Chain A
């Protein structure tokens, strides 16, 4: 069946199965920035925002997201016009292999929108659903902290 989705502020009419997960629908339709990790809701590689809240897209039946605003990591910044978080993830070496980065960036983005000046503990708590097997989290937490600092110093929008 064909269903309309609001993905990255654009209406997309996609052919889906009624039992498809949002992860599969997104990836099958070219949104490959959403990564498939564990498919169990454990690793956070598939995180997207639904109505501004982080969710594991592997744990969401796509039909239930049809009337909601879905945002993937490309919805906050692109290769040629990256979000400050994405720039700092790259410049601090917080990305490494990059597989967990889309989920990490979206979790951090959601955190900074709600809490512009998070403590290290609050950053770690906000990233509790994201697993990284490369960096050991130190650089990731540092990247989020530095982004918050720069945004606050320069009054940069968190959008």
Chain B
């Protein structure tokens, strides 16, 4: 149940919205799906972001800027129609269902970062940045935003910034036993090649201990080398995702499945899958 004195605010500027959320018990409202799930009595005010003009996707200087009020559905549509942001578009198209995707916003999903989110793994793999405002504007790499604790502070997410990159090869996996369940974990893999040599790589998993893990040591094995089965076998030694057991699945089960999926996706990219 919500607090009986719940109040709504519809500010027309970001500074005004930020000023409002500095007060205790007042939070931002985008699509509202998460707020409705929790219905915390400690929430006494909702600041709707609909008048902040954050419902945009823009391309500028090889970067895509996606406003916080953009829904997953809008990203999916934009990705298909403009043949771009394919990794993110595909990941978000697998989240929830069409009417729910028309409601979940990018800003809310970044700020709340639920463990089952389809959004964060591709954003980390794509080296995305997030622009926030907590009185002043800051642009932070998404990894730093999560690990530095900034995610837990009071602020407004204005947009995400994603490098345009047509030349990446990527795979994602949203692992569930039933399609409509929340995923147990999400994996995102990205490779960028310079000729036949790997120039950049990112192996990310979310849903693990500490929310996400990027396997930098495994990524480094491939740098400036040809992608091969032998290198994948070497890299797999450094891909050790750590999970917490829950009432459905043990940590050991999740770790084993995640490792198998990582290896399958890497072999698939290398074109050596049996």
Seen from chain A, the residues whose Cβ lies within 8 Å of a Cβ on chain B are 18-19, 21, 41-42, 44, 47, 50, 53-56, 59-61, 63-64, 67, 107, 125-129
Cα A157 to Cα B60 in complex, Å, equals 37
The reply to whether B98 and A59 contact each other, CB–CB distance below 8 Å, is no
A54 x B50 contact (CB < 8 A) = no
Using an 8 Å CB-CB cutoff, how does the interface string of B1-23 with A read, 1 for contact, 0 for none? 11100111000000000000000
The answer to whether residues A41 and B98 also contact, given A19-B6, A60-B32 and a CB cut-off of 8 A, is no
Complexed CA–CA distance, A77 and B50 (Å): 30
Would A56 and B8 count as touching, CB distance under 8 A? no
Closest CB-CB distance, B28 to chain A, in whole Å? 12
Question: How many residues does chain B have at the interface if contact means C-beta atoms less than 8 Å apart?
Answer: 25
How far is B114's CA from A133's CA once the two chains are assembled, in angstroms?
A: 30
Known A-B contacts A53-B73, A61-B35; A19 and B99 likewise in contact (beta carbons under 8 Å): no
Interfacial chain A residues near B1, Cβ < 8 Å: 19
Among B29, B46, B100, max chain A CB count under 10 A is at: B100
Query: B219: CB under 8 A from chain A?
Result: no
| CB of B178 within 8 Å of the partner chain | no
Some 23 contacts from A to B, beta carbons below 8 A apart, are A19-B1, A19-B2, A42-B97, A42-B180, A47-B99, A55-B99, A55-B102, A55-B103, A56-B100, A59-B32, A59-B33, A59-B36, A59-B100, A60-B32, A61-B29, A61-B32, A61-B35, A61-B46, A63-B46, A64-B32, A67-B50, A107-B98, A129-B97
CB pair B99 A18 closer than 8 Å = no
15 new A-B contacts, CB < 8 A, other than A41-B96, A61-B29, are A19-B1, A19-B2, A19-B39, A21-B36, A41-B100, A42-B97, A54-B98, A55-B103, A59-B33, A59-B99, A61-B46, A63-B46, A64-B50, A67-B50, A129-B100
* Contact among A41, A63, A107 for B8, CB-based, below 8 A: A63
**B159 contacts the other chain (CB 8 A):** no
Cβ of B131 < 8 Å from any Cβ of A? no
Tell whether B143 is near chain A: CB-to-CB under 8 Å.
no
Contact B48 A64 (CB under 8 A): yes
Chain B's nearest CB lies how many Å from the CB of A108?
11
Q: Which 4 A-B pairs have the closest CB atoms?
A: A129-B97, A19-B2, A129-B99, A53-B102
Question: A129 and B46: CB pair below 8 A?
Answer: no
Q: List the interface of chain B (C-beta within 8 A of A).
A: 1-3, 6-8, 29, 32-33, 35-36, 39, 46, 48, 50, 71, 73, 96-100, 102-103, 180
Which of A63, A64, A67 gathers most chain B CB within 10 Å? Answer: A64
A-side contacts of B2, CB under 8 Å: 18-19
B90 → chain A closest CB, angstroms: 13
Determine the distance from Cα of A59 to Cα of B3 in the docked complex, in whole angstroms.
Answer: 18
Residues of A within 8 A of B46 (CB): 61, 63
| A127–B99 alpha-carbon span in the complex (Å) | 9
Closest to A46 in B: B99
Q: How far is the CB of B91 from chain A (nearest CB, A)?
A: 15
Neighbouring A residues of B97 by C-beta, 8 Å: 41-42, 44, 128-129
Judging by beta carbons under 8 Å apart, are B7 and A18 in contact? yes
Q: Chain B nearest CB: distance from A111 CB in Å?
A: 9
Neighbouring B residues of A126 by C-beta, 8 Å: 98
Chain A residues with CB below 8 A from B48, complex form: 63-64
Alpha-carbon separation in the docked complex, A35 to B7 (Å): 27
Contacts of B50 in A (CB 8 A): 64, 67
Residues of chain B lying within 8 A (CB to CB) of residue A19: 1-3, 6, 39
Nearest CB on A from B253, distance (A): 26
If the complex has contacts A59-B103, A64-B48, are A18 and B98 also in contact, measured as CB distance less than 8 A?
no
Contacts of B8 in A (CB 8 A): 18, 63
Q: Which residues of the other chain, A, contact B73 by a CB distance below 8 angstroms?
A: 53
- Report chain B residues within 8 Å CB of A125: 98
Residues on the A chain within 8 Å of B100, using CB: 41, 56, 59, 129
In the complex, the chain A residue whose C-beta lies closest to that of B33 is: A59
A155 to B32, CA, bound (A): 39
